[in-house]
Structure 1
Amino acid sequence: MNEQSSSKEKGFILIVDDIPKNLQLLGNTLRDEGYKIAAVSKPEQVVNSVRKYQPDLILLDVMMPGKNGFEVCEELKADPELNHIPVIFLTAKVEQESVVKGLNLGGADYVTKPFNNQELLARVDTHISLKLSKDKLKEQNEKLNELGLMKDRIYSVIGHDLRGPVNGISGVINMLLTDLEETEPERLRKLLTLINESSTNLWNLLTDLLSWARVQSKEMKVNPSDFSLIKAIQEDVKMMEFVAEKKGVTIHIHPQEDFEVNADKSFIRTIIRNFLTNAIKFSDKKGSSIEINIEAEQNLKITVKDYGIGMSEEIQGRLFKMVHPKNETSMNKNGAGFGLLLCNELAKLHGGKIVVESEEGAGSTFTLVIPQSEQAVIAA
């Protein structure tokens, strides 16, 4: 077994001792067994080193100048981000009082000097195995929790977001069937328009739901190609024009110059469509506008800004989290959020991110940021 593979399998150990000879001896012994090693000779550097390396085990000398090992252990155990890492004390003292003190401070075990290699390796292996098992269990519990939240979110989508357009379609069709012969042409046009709008919303939501499920199962891959960004945005704006006009909302694109970008066109359009859908949905003032701004320098930035109801800091903090709060705000009740989960995942697949700025009563700004090479963005 090579050193790299065995190190990954066996774990990472931080050795703390003020005597270089001890560091060398311990380091060689553990490295020969396949462990990855880091060493610290000054007790004042231990906490920062633990933060940096995030080891699976700490071998900590007790008798050191300035600050002893017990004091260092107290610091580590007082830190909620570090207190889960097991500490084995290295001590020349065999007095019961010293050993008990170390264990009472949170130490996992102790080894006396001079070291018996078999005893040292046995204790190290035991505590690293326990640590790695706990880490694995924690990871599995987090995944189970995510699956539970995912299930709740999907139930929420099915129970609320999907039922809305389905009920809308069903209700309008029932009205038409009941009074079709006497329905005026203009009213018929409006009713058919409502059916078309609801079915489009339903289709988009189902598409997002299926896409998001594929992302979660790691089935969806980025397929980049060169395409006209302005044309792609204009296609999405055209899809939204009817709904926007009904609310008296106008959509503006800046600048009008065309850009050719290299990205997954379907992903980009999905993100823009969701941005626009939410911007229109939460633009509550007739005569309001939505601004789409494009920047194409080192990063591609597509910004959609509305002047609608905005969001509180609490809502912003959970936009991209798999949460399903019991007391939903009006914005959540209107269905915002699920599409943004998908958008966030699609942005990450591009190596990018989504930036949100919002103020209650003043509107929201959503920005897609995607890294681009110098050759990737070309003025058409």
Structure 2
Amino acid sequence: MSFTTNGFILIVDDTPTNLDVISETLSDAGFSVAIATSGEIALQRLERRLPDLILLDVMMPGIDGFETCQRLKSNPKTEDIPVIFMTALSDTDSKVQALELGAVDYITKPFQEKEVLARVKTHLQLRRLTQEMKYQVTEQKNAKEALQVSEELLRQKAILLEEMLCKLQHTQAQLIQNEKMSALGQLVAGVAHEINNPVNFIYGNITHADRYIQELIGLLKHYQQEYPQPTEKIQKYAQQIDYEFLKADLPKLLSSMMIGAERIQEIVLSLRTFSRLDEASMKAVDIHDGIESTLLIIQSRLKTQASIPIQVIKEYGNLPCVECYPGQLNQVFMNVLCNAIDALETEISQPNPTIHIQTKVIENNRIVITIADNGAGIPKSISQRIFDPFFSTKSVGKGTGLGLSISYQIIVEKHQGIFKCTSVPDKTVFWIEIPLKQEREKSSSTQ
């Protein structure tokens, strides 16, 4: 059995420019390339020759990329061919749907040559390993001695394949979660921006309105002093509008409006702090600001199904600014706090649902954030799997099993920290530990 030197790739896209760009990139890299301008033509080509990998556009005339992928995965002859979708950069829903249909990855338009080649080479290598293992088993199943000799080779390849599959699963999980968090961050930042402009207008004008009203009231006082005996018509109107009450209450009304506008400004600031779309790089920030902004975002969820409010107890230590990726760290706080709320929502019999947040500095210039809840706890049978990608104890539609897995990668891999969980009945504690300063060469942003 032999394989194409670099691999045979089928590109499916109805846009000639896209076909020219990506086929030239792959051909220059030594790949054998075939093209199809629709899903129907692609399926016909597969009857003549099976490619090692398919690059599939989402939006096409006739059957689109999603339906084409479904047909590929339902056919035993083509189900194991890796499919990489080609989508627009902002098309988050399509990316998530593609991965859920069985695609192994996606590349975004406009194409980046290095990214395309890196993703294609990775998935071709994974496919070759899979095919070689199948070939070895087929060739040696009737030769006992040969099978014994190859056991070590198969074992090594199985270990390598398992490692690559695990890496691919982590990558796929991170792709889905990053797309969802990116969409959430853009939504939050957009809402904050749209609210901020009219609120600033209101807030800025209340001060002037208060001054103008005080001046008008002063003018009326001067009239009263100069003309102490108003006419009967003026007296009647003053009684009708309750002038004395209006004069005393109007400043209070303006003061309440000022307080309300200030509160909205605080909420907008918290939304911006949580999204931090402009802070994808590492920087020193106040961790407590991130926790507070996250709590504000989930404020509406701090009431259980039994209408018992969840009490949040905060014990903040005296923390210096911490060097980190602020947006990613806020994502961790969101995931852990939402899991705590989910646990308390199902514990209807708990009379005093509580989330306890504590921060402190420990030795070796590291900080610790612990988030604890007094829910039923995590059974030992599943406690070792809570950080696995796509593992979830929630019902279908309630959770994807990505939150804690992504949080683990953010803390351990991106921040050189420790992320662990201890659980007993009535107490589950998530331990987040990171250094005050990061080693630049080991860290990179993927936000």
Quickly name the TM-score band, shorter chain normalised. Answer: 0.3 to 0.5
TM (norm. structure 2) is 0.35
TM (norm. structure 1) is 0.41
Relative CO higher for 1 or 2, CA cutoff 8 Å, sep ≥ 6? 1
